[in-house]
């Protein structure tokens, strides 16, 4: 099985994608090889999945990359190039948060895991603020739509129940 086939076949269950993500990040971090081939696919297939995937699998990779970038920041030559490539990959990985915030299946459980990291990212890295804020906007918008839909459905059910209750209590009228 090729990694590309593996990636496409496991989506939209991103928890199964962790092996590919971890291996690709390790290859990039250890050897400096480009590993961002999977990011556009992840962005495309990550909607309506588990937001906890980002917290449990992508945040550790992003944290490790950040540590390495900090260490390589003052270096020259090839190390500087690797640092810039890692920065670009880091931005692309943070870009995967947006589709994962589109109707996540595990929002109540997953968001507390992400809240602090998102806040730190917004505070610390100006280049990622727009990306992360767009993801939060998508999360809020989709959540509001779900709440509005649930309220509408709940309101219709309650109105139907009240109407049914009212019909039983009232006496029929003859025209």
| Residue 94: partners with Cβ closer than 8 Å, 6 or more residues away | 62, 121, 128, 131, 132
Cβ atoms of residues 82 and 49 within 8 Å: no
Q: Is the pLDDT of residue 159 over 80?
A: no
pLDDT in tens, 28-56: 444 444 556 777 877 887 778 888 888 88
pLDDT band at residue 19, thresholds of 50, 70 and 90? very low
pLDDT band at residue 166, thresholds of 50, 70 and 90? low
Tell if the pTM clears 0.85, that is, is over it. no
Q: How far apart are CA 77 and CA 145, in angstroms?
A: 50
Residue closest to 42 by CA, chosen among 25, 30, 27: 25
Name the residue with higher pLDDT: 79 or 134. Answer: 134
Per cent of the chain over pLDDT 90 is 18
Name the residue with higher pLDDT: 5 or 136. Answer: 136
Residue closest to 51 by CA, chosen among 117, 1, 125, 104: 104
Q: What is the mean pLDDT of the chain?
A: 74
Instruction: Provide the b/e sequence for 117-133 (b: ≥16 CB within 10 Å).
Output: bbeebbeebeebeebbe
> Residue 54 gets which letter from DSSP?
I
Q: Which residue reads 């459905």 in tokens? A: 153
Cβ atoms of residues 142 and 150 within 8 Å: no
pLDDT in tens, 99-123: 999 888 888 899 998 999 999 999 9
103 φ/ψ sector (left φ>0, alpha ψ -120 to 50, else beta): left
Name the residue with higher pLDDT: 168 or 118. Answer: 118
Write down the H helix ranges in the chain.
3-10, 18-31, 39-45, 52-53, 59-72, 78-95, 97-100, 107-124, 129-169
Whole-number pLDDT of residue 157: 60
Helix axes 129-169, 107-124, angle to 10 degrees: 150
């Amino acid at each position: 099985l090729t990694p590309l086939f593996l990636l496409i076949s496991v989506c939209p269950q991103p928890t199964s994608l962790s092996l590919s993500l971890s291996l690709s990040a390790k290859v990039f971090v250890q050897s400096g090889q480009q590993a961002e081939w999977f990011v556009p696919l992840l962005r495309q297939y990550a909607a309506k999945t588990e937001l906890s995937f980002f917290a449990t699998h992508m945040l550790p990779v992003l944290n490790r990359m950040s540590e390495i970038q900090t260490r390589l920041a003052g270096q020259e030559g090839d190390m500087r190039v690797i640092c810039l490539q890692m920065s670009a990959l880091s931005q692309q990985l943070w870009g995967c948060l947006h589709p994962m915030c589109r109707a996540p299946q595990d929002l109540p459980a997953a968001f507390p895991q992400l809240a602090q990291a998102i806040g730190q990212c917004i505070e610390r890295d100006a280049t990622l603020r727009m990306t992360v804020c767009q993801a939060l906007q998508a999360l809020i918008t989709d959540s509001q739509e779900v709440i509005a839909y649930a309220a509408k459905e709940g309101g219709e059910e309650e109105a139907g129940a009240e109407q049914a209750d009212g019909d039983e209590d009232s006496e029929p009228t003859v025209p």
